[in-house]
Amino acid sequence: MSPSNKVNRPLSVTFLAVGVFIFGAGQLWQAWAIYAQMALLLSLPTTFSPYARLAAALFWTVVALGLSLAVWRGWPRARLLVPVAGGVFLIYHLTLIVSSVSAMAERGWPGNLLLGIVLLCLVTWVLNRPAARPFFAHQRGQ
C-alpha cells in the first residue's frame, strides 16, 4: 500500500489488540503459577491434571499473542479468528468451572457464560464495525 492509501488503525481495534495481548500475558502468568505450585496441585483432588492445565495455559498464551499481532497488523483473517478463538476459550473455561470440585465455582458458571457471550459480541462488533472494515480490507505490513 502506498502511504497515501494508508488506513489508520481505529482506536477500538487498538484497544482490542492490547486487550488480547494482556489476556495472553495473563495466560503466561497462569502457566508460571501452575508450574511454581505443581507439587501442591498434584496432591490435590482435581479433575484436570496440572500438567494439562499448564499445557493449556501455554497454548492459550501462544494463541493470544499471535492473535494480538494479527489484530495489530490488520490481517483480514483476524476478524474471524479472534471471535472463534474466544468462543473456544469460553467453552474450555466453562468446562473447567463445571467440572470443578468446588461447589462455589460450579455455581458461578451462569455468570461466566453471560460475561463470555457479552465479550464475544463486543469483540465481534469491534472487528466488524464500519470504521474497522477498511483497516482489515488489505493485508497489512507488506
The reply to whether 24 falls in a domain is: yes
How many independent structural domains does the chain possess? 1
Determine the average pLDDT of the residues in 8-22. 95
What is the domain range of residue 50? Answer: 9-136
Q: What is the pLDDT of residue 122?
A: 96
Predicted structure pTM score: 0.86
Taking the CA of residue 96 as centre, how many other CA atoms within 13 Å lie in the half-sphere pointing to its CB? Answer: 13
The reply to whether 141 falls in a domain is: no
Sign of CA dihedral 109, 113, 115, 120: positive
Spatial CA neighbour of 138 closest among 43, 74, 54, 86: 74
Spatial CA neighbour of 54 closest among 76, 81, 35, 70: 35
Question: 34-65: per-residue pLDDT in tens?
Answer: 999 999 988 888 778 899 999 999 999 999 99
Q: What is the pLDDT of residue 98?
A: 85
